A and B are shown apart, each in its own frame.
Chain A
Amino acid sequence: MNRARRIRLQLFRGVTFVIMGAFFLVPIAGMFEFSTRGRGLNAPRTLEAWTSIVTYPDLVAAIVASLELALITSVGMLLLLVPTMIWVRLRLPELARTIEFICLLPLTIPAIVLVAGLVPIYKWIAINLVDSILTLAFAYLVLVLPYAYRTLYAGLSAIDVKTLSEAARSLGAGWPAVMWRIIVPNMSVALLNACLLSVAVVLGEYTIANLLNYVNVQVAIQLLGRANAGVSIAVAVASLLFAFLLLVVLSFVGRPRARVARAEG
């Protein structure tokens, strides 16, 4: 691409990042500022709210439970959605709209109403199978469907699945090989983003766990936050940072393909 366009592009990128960065970082800075306020009118700044977070015993158990749930949900989402979406795109296009609507449904029903519908099923599970917080994964898998579906859809629509799979099949590949060795590597960005979203959804989920009386990390944070105002905000910012660091680490797991698109003009 020519110089003028390159400069315009870099200018656009610079301005966008600066403005968006300010928009997203300033409120967090506001929260951090609040969490360091002392008590009383002219009290000095203090990190008391932050240091008291580590003294809360049940927080660790809740964090571990949420991390386990995030892992189970992400893996479950990949196993359930990816083969189905590829299959539907190739063989069952008439089912596409139905799947699209189904994958939008969890977002249209507010969580507190969805719980009312999930309760009979969860009661059966708790009484007959196992009463563990990890059973929340069933509900969480449903919750992440809208986000994961859209992300995977965008990834799938960017590659010509039909041609790739026909080429692979004509060379003798079976369906598992087509999916695993041909299509999935071309979707790595979408897969990674879908996982990131799933982990974030699970770590940020509060309503369903709360109404089913399970203690996941957000429920523990709410309980901790009742101690005092500074702690409630400090712990919220801390959980954001924690999730952010986790996702950054996760993003190194995906294999970044040498994007031909980077030369985009």
Chain B
Amino acid sequence: MHNTRLRRLHVLGLTAGAVMVLAACGGGPASSSSGGSPATAQSAADAGGLNALVTAAKKEGKLNVIALPPDWANYGAIISGFTAKYGIPIDSANPNGSSQDEVNAVQQLAGTSRAPDVLDVGMAVALANTNLFAPYKVTSWGDILDSQKEATGLWFQDYGGYMSIGYDSSKVPTITSIQDLLKPEFKGKVALNGDPTKANAALNGVMMASLANGGSLDDISKGVDFFHQLKQKGNFVPVQATTATVKNGSTPVVFDWDYLSAAHGTDVPTWKVFVPSNAILGGYYAQAINKQAPHPAAARLWMEYLYSDEGQNLWLKGLARPVRMDAMQKKGTLDKAAAAKLPPVNGKPVFLSADQATNAKNYLADHWAQAIG
């Protein structure tokens, strides 16, 4: 990027960033940030190049992440990969936390050295908390579609998948349509990954059921009715699905994102993932950098790592669809073997818009407890 116009934009961006930092300095962290440009940069070029960023990050010496379980989209390998490549240890806190827990931690631990540096949150939480984020554009910014990122870099989507029904084929018969779940063979066997008034994955699970039962993205009521039917028949079990309950057979059928569901395959070789052809509901998560990160340079380096070919392919190995997938396929840098293992999906996926998600959660807040109680 030797274009003078771009360079002027970068200076503008850096100044804007500096002004923001000065404005935020009132309650800013007392420790860590060296105050140099890599720590407040809005892109790698801002920071003086990737190497300068690496040096600054190594000087900070640590990275705090939160709510990244090792079996979630292969984060275990990503964390160890980052540490191996740059020698920066990572502190992984609260692995079972929700997106809201991440935001709560950012607010509650602000100013301490344990505050999270980076966040991986659902879209609803990302959109509601942009005041907590610092803008940053990764080197491969252009590969991300405009609809999947915030214009100034406050948040940007990272990976996604499709809502699916995972099941243990040794305990229940093969599922070819969502209506199969109403059969008596599924008595006491069907679970959602969480409560839809609380967890993003569960809300999408109910929405997928709605789509598969004649509802639409604006109408989640058919999904709620479906689960009510499941409950009446005694097929629905309210237990929180974990790897242990899946393996032990308490929850042999789980509505969950396909990449999370596929992770059960390591413990249960007979695990299969089914996406209904008339209800391909996609969902992406988003990355963001904490404006008051105790290790800001390391946070930016982490983003660069995640959006590099290496990082994206690691997500792919976790059976999640990385956001740069199409671009990487065109450039030929996609891990073809891993891509081949993705659950087959025939049809065009749909995504919930922010408004549709809001309508869905309002409907659920009013009706879910009665339907399932």
> Is chain B in direct contact with chain A in the complex (CB below 8 A)?
yes
The chain A residues found within 8 Å of chain B, CB to CB, are 34, 37, 39-41, 115-116, 119, 123, 126-127, 131, 210-215, 219, 222-223, 226-230, 232-233
Contact status of A39 and B114, CB under 8 A, knowing A34-B248, A211-B108, A229-B247: no
Contact status of A226 and B267, CB under 8 A, knowing A212-B114, A232-B244: no
Q: Out of B93, B111, B116, which one reaches A123, CB within 8 Å?
A: B111
Which residues of chain B are within 8 angstroms of A227 by Cβ–Cβ distance? Answer: 70-71
Which residues of chain A are within 8 angstroms of B114 by Cβ–Cβ distance? Answer: 126, 131, 212-214
- Cα distance A73–B115 when bound, in Å? 26
Q: Out of B70, B71, B111, B270, which one reaches A40, CB within 8 Å?
A: B270
Between A and B, 30 residue pairs with Cβ closer than 8 Å are: A34-B244, A34-B247, A39-B266, A39-B267, A40-B268, A40-B269, A41-B170, A116-B108, A123-B111, A126-B113, A127-B30, A127-B111, A131-B114, A210-B97, A211-B94, A212-B109, A212-B114, A213-B66, A213-B105, A213-B114, A213-B115, A213-B116, A219-B93, A222-B96, A228-B266, A229-B242, A229-B243, A229-B247, A229-B267, A232-B243
A98 to chain B minimum Cβ distance, whole angstroms, is 30
Which residues of chain A are within 8 angstroms of B110 by Cβ–Cβ distance? Answer: 123
B266 touches A213 (CB 8 A): no
A39 touches B268 (CB 8 A): yes
Contact status of A126 and B94, CB under 8 A, knowing A213-B64, A213-B66, A233-B244: no
B117 to chain A minimum Cβ distance, whole angstroms, is 12
**Chain B residue nearest in CB terms to A127:** B111
**Chain B residue nearest in CB terms to A128:** B30
B258 to chain A minimum Cβ distance, whole angstroms, is 19
A226 touches B108 (CB 8 A): no
Which residues of chain B are within 8 angstroms of A126 by Cβ–Cβ distance? Answer: 111-114
Q: Out of B94, B243, B248, B268, which one reaches A213, CB within 8 Å?
A: B94
Nearest 5 pairs of A and B residues by beta carbon: A229-B243, A229-B247, A213-B114, A229-B244, A126-B112
B116 to chain A minimum Cβ distance, whole angstroms, is 8
Which residues between 54 and 71 of chain B lie within 8 Å of chain A, taking CB atoms? 64, 66, 69-71
B94 touches A210 (CB 8 A): yes
Q: Is the CB of B214 closer than 8 A to any CB of chain A? A: no
Further pairs besides A39-B266, A123-B111: 19, Cβ < 8 Å = A34-B247, A39-B269, A40-B269, A116-B108, A123-B109, A123-B112, A126-B114, A127-B111, A212-B108, A213-B66, A213-B91, A213-B94, A213-B114, A222-B95, A223-B92, A223-B95, A226-B69, A226-B243, A232-B243
A229 touches B269 (CB 8 A): no
Which residues of chain A are within 8 angstroms of B270 by Cβ–Cβ distance? Answer: 40-41
B37 to chain A minimum Cβ distance, whole angstroms, is 26
A234 to chain B minimum Cβ distance, whole angstroms, is 10
Which residues of chain B are within 8 angstroms of A215 by Cβ–Cβ distance? Answer: 93
Q: Out of B95, B112, B247, B267, which one reaches A131, CB within 8 Å?
A: B112
Q: Is the CB of B246 closer than 8 A to any CB of chain A? A: yes
Which residues of chain B are within 8 angstroms of A214 by Cβ–Cβ distance? Answer: 114
**Chain B residue nearest in CB terms to A125:** B112
A229 touches B246 (CB 8 A): yes
B109 touches A226 (CB 8 A): no
Which residues of chain A are within 8 angstroms of B93 by Cβ–Cβ distance? Answer: 210, 213, 215, 219
- Cα distance A215–B267 when bound, in Å? 26
- Cα distance A212–B108 when bound, in Å? 8
**Chain A residue nearest in CB terms to B269:** A40
- Cα distance A233–B69 when bound, in Å? 17
Which residues of chain B are within 8 angstroms of A219 by Cβ–Cβ distance? Answer: 93-94
Which residues of chain B are within 8 angstroms of A222 by Cβ–Cβ distance? Answer: 95-96
- Cα distance A142–B332 when bound, in Å? 59
- Cα distance A212–B92 when bound, in Å? 13
B210 to chain A minimum Cβ distance, whole angstroms, is 31
Which residues of chain B are within 8 angstroms of A119 by Cβ–Cβ distance? Answer: 108-109
